[in-house]
Amino acid sequence: MNFSYKQIWLIAYPILISLLMEHMINVTDTAFLGHVGEVELGASALAGVLYMAIYMLGFGFSIGVQILIARRNGEQKYGEIGGIFMQGAFFLLALATVMFFLCDYITTHILGRLISSDQVYAAAASYLEWRRYGLFFSFIAILFRAFYIGITETRTLTLNSVVMVLSNVVFNYILIFGKFGFPALGIAGAAIGSSLAELVSLLFYVVYTWLKVDKKKYALFQRFAFRLSEFKRIWSISCWTMLQSILFPSQWFLFFIAIEHLGERSLAIANIMRSINTCFFMVIFAFADTASSMVSNLMGSGKDKSEIRFACSQAIKLAYLIGTPFLLLSVLFPSAVLQIYTNNEELVQAALPTTYVMLVGYFLSAPGLVLFNAVSGTGNTNQSMRIMLITIAVYVVYVVVMVMYFKVDVAVAWTSEYIYGGMLLLLSYFYLKNRDWNKRI
């Protein structure tokens, strides 16, 4: 098993398209609720962040499942993949059930204390009340995502994401505004619509897999008994990726808390930069996910370290090749990009220095995240957890010193992304180069 540039691209681009489509779901929700009212718009953002935090627990677990599926695929032990899939399904359904009931506690004791407006709180509580049903669908859907990335058949992700986005638009339009005889449910309609879209996504995966995938080859939908020994093997990998999925977004929370001390203008600039940065990070995440699956497949097929490192370097080069044209356009026309987010010319001019700093950061973040995910792909997820912890510790110290102590400009504060990407790159590179990571999982 070897991966050419073309093969890597054929794996990565459906992941990229699916990430863009998932981003479109947030865009359409925001656009629809923006026509309902400011209360609903703000409430959906707050409740949506909490839902995403819960979702990331399941997503983190699925990364561990993906690593194991990829390893068995590389070893050509296809019959073991179905067992891994089913044990993952048992756990994710149990986790969805726990988090479903825990949402009541979160709404009362967390949202109730964080939100001062009674109107916003009531709207956010209504959103979460209905949105939590989507956990049962989304958690199993991400398991199918892990399966297809693990076996490097990622084209299905593109089809699924298109179906999901279209479903979300239709359901939200009908239920938010009360079309075709349905009552206008407002923010509750947005939550119900998104949950239904996740159900459609899951049904698509089930039907597509049933009709198109060789179920006998992968032993899918055959072993419906919980097996503790199999689950322990999955948990030994996935427990660390679950923790990483929680830690990864924490850097942004800490960063924005610090930036808030610089004033409203700096916070506004940072929010715009975060949104633009997310678009570029989708390219990085697509190749990082691909690298994780490639490494596990290559290790399973018995390839040596030099071949695995070469595959990682190919993924990094492609991440540069795809991202650089968009970076250059943003450098040449930064005001046009910023004006998508604000028509305040003074704010646009103030944001220009931070824009340039943010764009340069791509060249450290791309190799850093690709190699970090490659470390996870080796199965040594406890080691990738250590790398993450060291990186975040250095990052937090840098942010606190630069922002809280020296009170630097937001453009200088954004160089913390160089620290984050650089630390991931440095630690992951030295681990892959010098350590013995040929682990059996």
**Which ranges of 76-154 would DSSP assign to H, the alpha helix?**
81-105, 112-114, 118-131, 134-150
Amino acid (one-letter) located at 427: L
Q: Which residues of the chain have pLDDT under 50?
A: none
Can you tell me the distance from the alpha carbon of 107 to that of 111, in angstroms, rounded to the nearest whole number? 5
Place of tokens 């018995």: 302
Q: Residue 26 has which token pair? A: 């947030």
The predicted pLDDT at position 64 comes to 94
Q: Residue 61 has which token pair? A: 């677990």
The predicted pLDDT at position 112 comes to 76
Question: pLDDT, tens digit, for every residue of 380-421?
Answer: 999 999 999 999 999 999 999 999 889 999 999 999 999 999
**Which ranges of 179-227 would DSSP assign to H, the alpha helix?**
187-212, 215-218
Question: pLDDT, tens digit, for every residue of 163-172?
Answer: 999 999 999 9
Half-sphere exposure of 46 (CA within 13 A, CB side): 25
How distant, in Å, are the alpha carbons of 34, 341, 344, 403 from that of 352? 27, 13, 13, 19
CA torsion sign, 81 to 85 to 87 to 88? positive
CA 393 to chain CA mean position, Å:
21
At 97, phi and psi to the nearest 5? -65, -45
At 352, phi and psi to the nearest 5? -60, -50
- Judged by DSSP in three states, 166 sits in helix
Can you tell me the distance from the alpha carbon of 193 to that of 176, in angstroms, rounded to the nearest whole number? 8
